[in-house]
Structure 1
Amino acid sequence: MHIQSILYDLIIVIYACSVLFYFFDFLQNNRKANKIAFWLLSIVWISQTIYVSQVFLQEALPFWSKFDTLFLFSWLLITLSLLVNIFFRMDIFLFFTNVVGFSIMAMSMFLESRNISEELATHFTSGWLVIHITMAFLSYAAFTLSAIFSVIYLYQHRLLKQKKWNNQMKRGPSLAQLDKASFFLNIAAVPLLFLSLILGSIWAFHTLEGAEWIFDSKVILSVFVLLMYTIYLFQRVVRGWTGKRITELNVICFFILVVNYVLSNLFSTFHLWT
Structure 2
Amino acid sequence: MQKLTIKEIEEKLFSNELSSLEIQKLYKDERKGVQRLLNKKERLEEEEHLLKQQYESMSMYENQCRSLNYKWIAGIDEVGRGPLAGPVTAAAVILSEDAYIAGLNDSKTLSEAKRETLYEEIMKSAISVSVQMVDASKIDEINIYQAAKHAMKQAVETLDVKPDYLLVDAMEIALPIPQRSIIKGDANSVSIAAASIVAKVTRDRYMKELGVKYPEYGFENHMGYGTKQHLEAIEKIGVINEHRRTFSPVQKFVE
- TM-score normalised by the chain length of structure 2: 0.24
Name whichever structure is richer in helix by fraction.
1
Which protein has the larger Cα radius of gyration, Structure 1 or Structure 2? 2
Q: Which has the higher contact order (CA 8 A, sep 6+)?
A: 2
Name whichever structure is richer in strand by fraction.
2
- TM-score normalised by the chain length of structure 1: 0.23
